[in-house]
Amino acid sequence: MQRRSFMIGATALAAASGLIRPAHAQGRPFTFTSWGGALSDAERNAFIDPFAAMKGIEAINTSPTETAKTIAMVEAKKVEWDLVCEGGTVAFQGEQMGFLEVLDLSKIPNAAALPDAMKAPCGLVTSTGATIIAWSESAFPDGGPQSWAEFWDVARFPGPRGLYTEFTYNYEAALLAAGLKAEEIYPVTPEKIEMAFGKIREIKPHVTVWWGSGAQPPQLLSTGELAASSAWSGRMLAAKAEGAPVGFTFRDGVAWGNWWVIPKGSPYVDLAHEAINFALDVENQKKLLPLKTYGPVVSAATEGLSPEDSEILVMAPQNLEHMLLLNEKEGWGYTEATLGSWQQLMME
């Protein structure tokens, strides 16, 4: 994925008409960084574009998120990103390592609507997605695997597999494939980690792609290079809407949030707090709904939706009851505990 940056449309228009109020700290505008693709589009359209227009400022969107780059910026005291969309484990990593600002919740009153699992001292969830099971319709025209146990069953569902390049999501998927119930996945223990590694070794000969970019699974499933893969829900919804020959299920998915964090040393700390609060406003959360990729985290934003409109939302009760909610703090723990052993497993 190539890094891209662009001025958001609303602020470009304001600049052209002379209405923009520049907010240039240290000679640059406010900068938001996310993962790219459907998620960046959703965040730009629902949150960053309207926020910048409301404030009358210039804002820049960039992608992709790179945690190592955030850390390097902070260490060099040359922070170029002011608000970053990260995985939840980074919110806890940043707190422990000190490269993220501790959020002042008095400046983010809308955070009171969030469930506790979507909050951390250095990050808050602003939208939701999931890691789900997806497949190529050319490989499985009658429907693909409906659980991680079936995903692992290469005899019943033959063909090359794709899995995420990190242990995140794979820990949960492997244990569900091994027969553990959702309520048994956490807390993480050495025994569960070893069980997960064993299941991954079992399927590893069939994994031809360890993907690191969310664009890869829908593309590789569309071309038939992969028969089945784990994938991010928003990417699959966007691909399906464009007519890609892919299928997917929320069943057995790993639900998670998109966490917004502030790199320590940003010259726009106060503005970043305002942007987070803006994103968590109920009316702004509702702006995610017509985009049909990543969904709201504030439950009030989905009240009154028809079953048809809510069926693509990760947090809809009919979906969530069949999914596992990722425990981000536990995820940070198992990520730290397996840094070396995961790399060794990848080289086996």
CATH number at residue 90: 3.40.190.10
**Which residues contact residue 272 at a Cβ distance below 8 angstroms, ignoring those fewer than 6 apart?**
30, 82, 83, 101, 262, 266
Residue 320 lies in a domain: no
pLDDT at 304: 87
Same domain, 47 and 107: yes
Same domain, 64 and 209: no
Give the model confidence (pLDDT) of 259-292 as tens digits.
999 999 999 999 999 999 999 999 999 999 999 9
Same domain, 119 and 215: no
pLDDT at 49 over 90: yes
Residue 317 lies in a domain: no
pLDDT at 128 over 80: yes
- The average pLDDT across 214-233 equals 97
Same domain, 124 and 178: no
Residue 141 lies in a domain: yes
Q: Which long-range contacts (CB under 8 A, 24 or more apart) does 266-270 make?
A: 266/79, 266/81, 266/82, 266/83, 266/101, 267/25, 267/26, 267/79, 267/82, 268/23, 268/25, 268/30, 268/82, 268/83, 269/82, 269/101, 270/107
Tokens 């960046």 sit at which residue? 40
- Give the chain's mean pLDDT: 91
- End-to-end Cα, the chain, rounded Å: 27
Residue 323 lies in a domain: no
Give the model confidence (pLDDT) of 161-193 as tens digits.
999 999 999 999 999 999 999 999 999 999 999
Q: Which helix (H) or strand (E) holds 294?
A: none
Using CB atoms within 10 Å of the CB of residue 190, give its burial: 0 to 12 exposed, 13 to 18 middle, 19+ buried: exposed
Using CB atoms within 10 Å of the CB of residue 208, give its burial: 0 to 12 exposed, 13 to 18 middle, 19+ buried: middle
pLDDT at 17 over 50: no
Residue 52 lies in a domain: yes
Q: Are residues 246 and 236 in contact, defined by beta-carbon separation less than 8 angstroms? A: yes
SS3 127: strand
pLDDT at 21: 44
Angle, CA of 120, 332 and 83, to the nearest 5°: 50
The pTM for the full model equals 0.84
Residue 321 lies in a domain: no
Number of domains in the chain: 2
Report d(CA 101, CA 95) in Å as an integer.
Answer: 8
CA–CA distance from 268 to each of 5, 6, 28, 79, 211 (Å)?
18, 19, 10, 10, 33
Closest Cα to residue 164, out of 207, 135, 205? 207
Same domain, 148 and 168: yes
| Residue 296 phi, psi dihedral angles, 5° rounding | -65, 155
| Residue 210 phi, psi dihedral angles, 5° rounding | -100, 100
340 or 15, which is more confident?
A: 340
DSSP 7-50: E-HHHHHHHHTT------BTTB-EEEE---HHHHHHHIIIIIHH
- The average pLDDT across 74-83 equals 97
Q: Which of 38-42, 79-83, 114-118 has the lowest mean pLDDT?
A: 114-118
pLDDT at 20: 40
Residue 244 lies in a domain: yes
Same domain, 306 and 332: no
Residue 210 lies in a domain: yes
pLDDT at 24: 54
Same domain, 70 and 168: no
pLDDT at 26: 60
Range of the domain at 166: 131-254+328-347
Same domain, 13 and 94: yes
Same domain, 21 and 64: yes
Same domain, 139 and 189: yes
